[in-house]
A and B are shown apart, each in its own frame.
Chain A
Amino acid sequence: MRQTLMTFSATLLMMGLVATTVLAEKPEDNRATRERGRVIYEQSCLFCHGAEGKGDGPAGWFIGRYSSPHPRDFTTEGYKLRSTESGSLPTDQDLFRTVTQGIPGYMPSFVGLTETERWQVIAHVKSMNPAFKEDKPEPMVFGNPPFPSSDESIEKGRKVYLQFGCVNCHGAEGKGDGKESIEGNLKDARGLPILAGDLAERRAFKNGATARDIYRTLLTGLDGTPMPSYITQFQGKGKDDKDAWHLVDYILSLSGERRP
Chain B
Amino acid sequence: MHRRGIAITIGLAYSVMALLWGPLPLAGAADVLSPLYEQPSTSTYQEPVVPKYRRPMQGRSARDPASKPAYQKPVVPKYKPPIQSRSFTNPTPTSVPPPPDNAVHGTAATAQTEKVMAPSQRVTPTVDPVKAESPTIVGRVLFRGVIPPATHFDIDRDVEVCGKVVNLQPITIDPTTGGLHNAIVHVDVGMTAVAAEVSSQGQEEVLPIRNKNCTFIPRLGAERTGSEAEIINDDPMMHNTNMTFGNRTVINVALVAGGNPIRKSFKKAGLHMVKCNVHKFMYGYRYVFDDPFYAATSETGKFRISNLPPGLHRVTVWHETLGIAEKEVQVPSQGTVNLDLEFK
Contact = CB atoms under 8 A, between A and B. Distances in A.
Interface of A: 1, 3-5, 7-8, 11-12, 14-16, 18-19, 22-23, 31-32, 34-36, 38, 42, 46, 50-52, 54-58, 60-61, 65-66, 70, 73, 75-78, 85-87, 116, 127-130, 133, 163-165, 168-169, 179-180, 185-186, 189-192, 221, 223-224, 226-233, 236-239
Nearest to B76: A38
A42 B48 CA distance: 22
Nearest to A183: B280
Interface in B1-48: 3-4, 7-8, 10-12, 14-16, 18-19, 22-23, 27, 30-31, 34, 38, 43-45, 48
Interface string B80-94: 010101111111100
A89 B18 CA distance: 36
B15 A18 contact: yes
A30 to B, nearest CB: 10
A38 B238 CA distance: 45
A19 B19 contact: yes
B8 to A, nearest CB: 6
Interface in B60-98: 66, 70-71, 73, 79, 81, 83, 85-92
A175 B314 CA distance: 54
A5 B88 CA distance: 62
Nearest to A165: B238
Interface stretch (B110-118, B162-170, B181-189, B245-253): B245-253
16 contacts: A4-B4, A52-B73, A66-B88, A87-B264, A130-B71, A185-B277, A191-B92, A226-B242, A228-B254, A229-B251, A231-B262, A232-B255, A233-B254, A233-B256, A233-B259, A236-B260
B318 to A, nearest CB: 21
B119 interface: no
A23 to B, nearest CB: 6
B3 A51 contact: no
Interface residues of B, number: 65
Contacts of A60: 85-86, 88
B260 A15 contact: no
